[in-house]
Structure formats: structure tokens, C-alpha cells
Amino acid sequence: QQSMKHVTKQIFQIVTLTLSINVFSRCQWYFKAKMSPEEKRRTDYQNGHAPFPGIKTYVDPDTYEDPTQAVHEFTKEIDPSRIRIERVIGAGEFGEVCSGRLRTPGKKEIAVAIKTLKGGYVERQRRDFLREASIMGQFDHPNIIRLEGVVTKSRPVMIVVEYMENGSLDSFLRQHDGHFTVIQLVGMLRGIASGMKYLSDMGYVHRDLAARNILVNSNLVCKVSDFGLSRVLEDDPEAAYTTTGGKIPIRWTAPEAISYRKFSSASDAWSYGIVMWEVMSYGERPYWEMSNQDVILSIEEGYRLPAPMGCPVALHQLMLHCWQKERSHRPKFTDVVSFLDKLIRNPSSLLPLVEDIQRYSIEDFLIVLSVRMHCKFM
């Protein structure tokens, strides 16, 4: 009987491993098959001009001899009389963040968030503050926070953006732990991936992609934000000094970016995998209470975050794909969007959960899966 148990255990382990390898192989095949010849020709690139014909590319404000020129070129000046500040909702590196109303040229009022530059600033602080507006003003996508305009000709200097009612994604998920269906969570992840695909196509590398830097509106639409800290991470509570002297949010950052400061769309893909984990765990802290140094050493030794409870196998395999050590093996954002679309169109593909495979015998797992699929299609 003991021998039979041992054999059964071995069979279960083989089936589990086979299933994981099969899902992972399908993931890799899917991403490779979806890659166009043009994408195959693209190499990893850094921030700045990405000369892809026919594609609008990001222009780094730091390349301007006079940074105020970038502000004039990429933003719209707003008459401060059209802005009504209502209440303080937070504080940023440069001053207060308020909610309020903006009267549009058509006399319609819209809800906005207003970042203000505190008094007593020096010119460098003003330039750094407006740099974020110069970046945001170049983007136009439903999953990227929208810049309404700036106030630069009077005081206080302001950046005005669309208002996102539910705030940052990490806090929102913690406040609504367990309230959403898997499909709703996948929809959020799809929105973030779509925004990142847009940025990647423009040649922009975010460098600080994390749930805390995703904003959520009243319709659960997720939008990538916080472009002011894409290079300067001094204000990020998760940023830690590295051996190279820069500050990096270790838990969200790819190994090559931590060790050699090699930031690219591939390092953003690694961070996206961490965001997936944050979403599926309802805002848990990646790597829990491990120290930053332990996180770095563990990743180097091959450790990867386990699937959160209730996480479908397909999503955890995508996370692991994003966390490939070799950056050229990580998925492109265009493939991530296509893959998530496929999951949304075929909800039954989200039924196998990681803990089911770990918890049940082969027979029990097949029964659970068949019951779920039966209930799904009744």
C-alpha cells in the first residue's frame, strides 16, 4: 500500500510538472508566433529617440537645451481662472495634490487633479516639476493618465490631469480584498498592459511600473501614471540605493537594471509581472518582509514569487515568463495584450487554479475542473 502511495505521488508530480511545462510552452509558442517580422527586427532600446518609421516616438525633455521649450511644445497653458481647487487629497515631492474642477472652453466642467509647486522653489525645482508634464503631454491613450494642461505664467505653478476617483491601484485593491472576479482582475491587467504597449511602441521606458503608480477611475479603468519619477526616484518610498549609487525600487526591478542599470521595455516587462502578482494578491507587498538584499540574492538563485491564492495557472505562467532571467526571452507588451485578450475571450482557460493542482489528487483535480466547466456553461 505504501508502495502504491509512492507511485501515485510520483505520477501526480509528473502530471503537475507536465501541465506546467505544457502551459509555459504554449505561452512561449504563443508569444513567438504572434511576433511580427518588424518586431523581431527591433532590439531593446533605452529612453530617447526610437527611430521606427511611421511610429510616433517619445522625445526626452532632457535633450532640449532649454527645458522650458519642451513644456511649450508638449503642453497646453491653462488660464488659472478656469480652475477651481476644492480640497487637498495628498502631497507630492514638490507640493500639494488637490482635487477640483476645470472649466473647458465649451463651458463644461470636468473633475481634475491639480499638482501644485510649493512656494520658495528654485528654478531647478520648477524645471523638474514641469518635466513630468512635458512627458505626459506626449501621450494620448485610454490607459495613460491624461494631461489637461499646465499653469506656468502665474503662481502657483500647476499641472492639471484627469481625476481618478479610486486612487492608486495597490490601495484600492487592499480596500476591496476579494471583491472582484478573476475576469475583472484580468481586465485591469489588460488595461495596464495596453498602456505599457503604447509607451513601449513610442520608445518610452517607465522604470517604475508598480501598482502604486497605476490609477483607477470609477469604471475600474486602470491608467499608468507617475512619469516624473521614471528617472528620479528620490520620492519613492520603495526606492533603495544600489551599489551603483542610484535609487531603484528593488522589488519591482529586473536583475539587469539593478546590477547594471540596463533599463528597457524588457525590464518594464519584468515589473509588469510583479504588478500582475500585486493585482492577483489584492495589493500584497511583493516578497513580503524579505529585505531588499535577500530579494536580490533569492532572484539571482532562481527564486520567483509563488502564485497568490485563487490565481489561475495561465496567469502565473505569464508572470514567470515576465521574470525570465534573459531579458530577450521576456514577452513584448503587444503579445501580453493579445494573450490576455485570448484569456478574456475564453474564460474557461482561467478555471485551473494553481492551488487546485497542488492540493488535489489527479482524480479529484479532474472532477473539480469538470464540475467548474459544467457550471460555467450551464
pLDDT level of residue 93 (50, 70, 90 thresholds): confident
pLDDT level of residue 13 (50, 70, 90 thresholds): very low
pLDDT level of residue 64 (50, 70, 90 thresholds): very high
CA dihedral 136, 139, 141, 142 (to 10 degrees): 10
Lowest mean pLDDT among 47-61, 92-106, 160-174: 47-61
Mean of pLDDT values over 351-355: 83
Closest CA to 307 of 347, 352, 341, 262: 352
pLDDT level of residue 354 (50, 70, 90 thresholds): confident
Quick one: pLDDT at residue 243?
Answer: 41
Among 62-71, 122-131, 307-316, top mean pLDDT goes to 307-316
Quick one: pLDDT at residue 22?
Answer: 54
Rg of the Cα atoms in the chain:
23
CB 198 within 8 A of CB 334: no
pLDDT level of residue 84 (50, 70, 90 thresholds): very high
Say whether pTM exceeds 0.85.
no
> End-to-end alpha-carbon separation of the chain, Å?
40
Higher pLDDT, 93 or 308: 308
Residues 6+ away with beta carbon under 8 Å from 120: none
The answer to whether residue 208 is catalytic is yes
Question: CA-CA distance, 211 to 224, in Å (whole number)?
Answer: 9
* Domains of the chain, first to last: 2-45+167-377 (1.10.510.10), 66-162 (3.30.200.20)
Average pLDDT, whole number, for the chain? 84
- What is the b/e burial string over 356-378, where b = at least 16 CB atoms within 10 angstroms of the residue's CB? bbeeeeeeebeebbeeeeeeeee
Quick one: pLDDT at residue 247?
Answer: 74
Mean of pLDDT values over 36-65: 60
Binding-site positions for ATP read 115
Lowest mean pLDDT among 123-132, 193-202, 278-287: 123-132
Mean of pLDDT values over 233-250: 57
Higher pLDDT, 320 or 54: 320
CB 20 within 8 A of CB 317: yes
CA dihedral 102, 107, 108, 113 (to 10 degrees): -10
15: Cα separation from own chain's centroid: 33
Residue 329 has pLDDT above 80, yes or no: yes
Lowest mean pLDDT among 14-18, 25-29, 51-55, 193-197: 14-18
pLDDT digits 0-9 by tens, 158-200:
999 999 999 999 999 999 999 999 999 999 999 999 999 999 9
Quick one: pLDDT at residue 246?
Answer: 54
Quick one: pLDDT at residue 91?
Answer: 85
Helix/strand/coil (H, E, C) string of the chain?
Answer: CHHHHHHHHHHHHHHHHHHHHHHHHHHHHHHHHHCCHHHHHCCCCCCCCCCCCCCCCCCCHHHCCCHHHHHHHHCCECCHHHEEEEEEEEECCCCEEEEEEEECCCCCEEEEEEEECCCCCCHHHHHHHHHHHHHHCCCCCCCECCEEEEECCCCCCEEEEECCCCCEHHHHHHHCCCCCCHHHHHHHHHHHHHHHHHHHHHCCCCCCCCHHHEEECCCCCEEECCCCCCCCCCCCCCEEECCCCCEEEHHHCCHHHHHHCCCCHHHHHHHHHHHHHHHHCCCCCCCCCCCHHHHHHHHHCCCCCCCCCCCEHHHHHHHHHHCCCCHHHCCCHHHHHHHHHHHHHCHHHHCCEHHHHHHCCHHHHHHHHHHHHHHHHC
Can you read off the three cell numbers belonging to residue 126? 520648477
pLDDT level of residue 363 (50, 70, 90 thresholds): low
Quick one: pLDDT at residue 237?
Answer: 57
Active-site annotation holder among 128, 170, 201, 208: 208
